[in-house]
Structure 1
Amino acid sequence: MLAESLSATIQSVESGFTNGSHCATIETVLNSSMTLSNFAQCSRDLEVMQCKRCLQDAYGRFTNGYNATFLATTIFYPSCRLGYDNKPSFIGDGSLAPPPERSSDDGTNASMPPTILVIACVASFGLVFLIAGLWLYMWREPEESFEPMSISTHTSRHVAVEVVDDISNLESLQFNFEFIKTATSNFSWKNKLGRGGFGEGKFLSGEEFAAKRLSGNSKQGVLEFKNEVHLLAKLQHKNLVKLLGFCMFEDEKILIFEFLSNLSLDKYLFDPVKRASLQWEQRFRIITGIARGLLYLHEDSRLKIIHRDLKASNILLDKEMNPKIADFGLARLFDSDQTQDVTSIIAGTYGYMAPEYVLAGQFSVKSDVYSFGVIVFEIISGQKNRFLYREEDEGLLQRAWRLWNEDKTLELVDRLMENKRYSEEQVKLCIQVGLLCIQEDTTRRPTMASLISALNGRSVTLPSPNAPHLFTIGTTSDGTSSNYALLSKNRNRNGRLRYDDSEYSGTTDITELCPR
Structure 2
Amino acid sequence: MTTDTSTLVSTLPNNIPASFLKQITDDFSPERELGKGAFGIVYKGILENGELIAVKKLGENPPMALDKTFNNEVGNLMAVRHENIVKLVGFCHESQKKLVPHNGRYIIVDITEIFLCYEYLWKGSLDNYLFAESNRLDWDTRFKIVKGICRGLHFLHNEMDRPVVHMDLKPENILLDDNMVPKIADFGLSRLFGQEQTRMHTQNVVGSLGYMAPEYLYRGEISTQSDIYSLGLLIIQISTGEKNIPDAEDKCGKKFIEKVHENWADRHITSKYASFDANRLQQIEMCVEIGLQCVDHERKKRPSIVDILDKLDGKHSV
Please state which band the TM-score falls in when normalised by the shorter chain. 0.7 to 0.9
Q: 1:284 aligns with which of 132, 136, 143?
A: 143
1:459 equivalent to 2:315? Answer yes
Q: Helix, strand or coil: the match of 1:330? A: helix
Deviation at 1:405, TM superposition (A): 3.4
Q: 1:314 to 1:178 in 2, by over 3 A?
A: same
Inter-partner Cα distance in structure 1 for 2:36 and 2:299: 33
- Aligned 1:218-237 pairs, distance under 5 A: 220-223=62-65, 226=70, 229=74, 232-237=77-82
Q: Does 1:349 align with 2:208?
A: yes
Q: CA deviation at 1:215?
A: 5.0
Equivalent of residue 315 in structure 1, options 171, 174, 192: 174
| Separation of aligned partners in 2, 1:254 and 1:421 | 46
Q: Structure 2 matches for 1:234-383, cutoff 5 A?
A: 234-249=79-94, 250=96, 251=111, 252-274=113-135, 277-327=136-186, 328-331=188-191, 332-334=195-197, 340-383=199-242
Matches within 5 A, 1:97-176: 149-151=9-11, 173-176=14-17
Residue 425 (structure 1) aligned to one of 282, 302, 310: 282
Once the two structures are aligned, what percentage of the paired residues are identical?
34
Q: Would you say 1:401 and 2:261 are equivalent positions?
A: yes
Give the direction of change, closer, same or farther, for the CA distance of 1:370–1:179 in structure 2 (3 Å limit): same
Q: Secondary structure at the match of 2:230?
A: helix
Alpha-carbon distance between aligned partners in 2 of 1:183 and 1:359, rounded to the nearest angstrom: 40
TM-score by length of 1: 0.49
Residue 224 to residue 311, structure 1, CA distance change in 2 (3 Å):
farther
Q: Distance in 2 between matches of 1:351 and 1:367?
A: 13
Instruction: Show CA shifts across 1:106-134 (max 9, x none).
Output: xxxxxxxxxxxxxxxxxxxxxxxxxxxxx
What are the superposed Cα offsets for residues 247-266 of structure 1, whole Å, 9 maximum, x if unpaired? 23334322111001122222
List alignment gaps of at least 5 residues for structure 2.
97-110
What is the rounded CA distance, in whole Å, between the counterparts of 1:451 and 1:412 in structure 2? 24
Higher radius of gyration, 1 or 2: 1
Q: Give per-residue Cα distances to partners, 1:450-472, cap 9 Å, x unaligned.
A: 2112112x23122xxxxxxxxxx
Aligned pairs, number: 283
Report how far residue 399 of structure 1 moved. Answer: 2.3
Secondary structure of the residue aligned to 2:152 is: helix
- Cα distance between partner residues in 2 of 1:299 and 1:190: 38
Give the SS at the match of 1:309.
coil
Following superposition, the deviation at residue 340 of structure 1 comes to 2.4
Shift of the alpha carbon at 1:209?
A: 1.1
- Asked if 1:191 corresponds to 2:51, the answer is no
Match of 1:14 in 2: none
Structure 1, gaps ≥5 residues long:
1-56, 62-147, 153-171, 463-516
Structure 1 residue 349 displacement after superposition = 1.9
Structure with the greater relative contact order (CA < 8 A, sep ≥ 6): 1 or 2? Answer: 2
Q: Tell me the alpha carbon deviations over residues 218-268 of structure 1, each in whole angstroms, 9 at most, x when there is no partner.
A: x74444994973663353211111110012333432211100112222233
- Distance in 1, Cα, partners of 2:59 & 2:300: 39
Give, as a single letter, the amino acid of the residue that structure 1 aligns with 2:301.
Answer: R
**Please, what TM-score do these two structures have when normalized by structure 2?**
0.76
Q: Which amino acid aligns with 1:329?
A: L
Q: Which moved more, 1:199-208 or 1:442-451?
A: 199-208
Question: Could you tell me which amino acid in structure 2 is paired with residue 333 of structure 1?
Answer: E
Quote the RMSD (CA, aligned, Å).
3.2
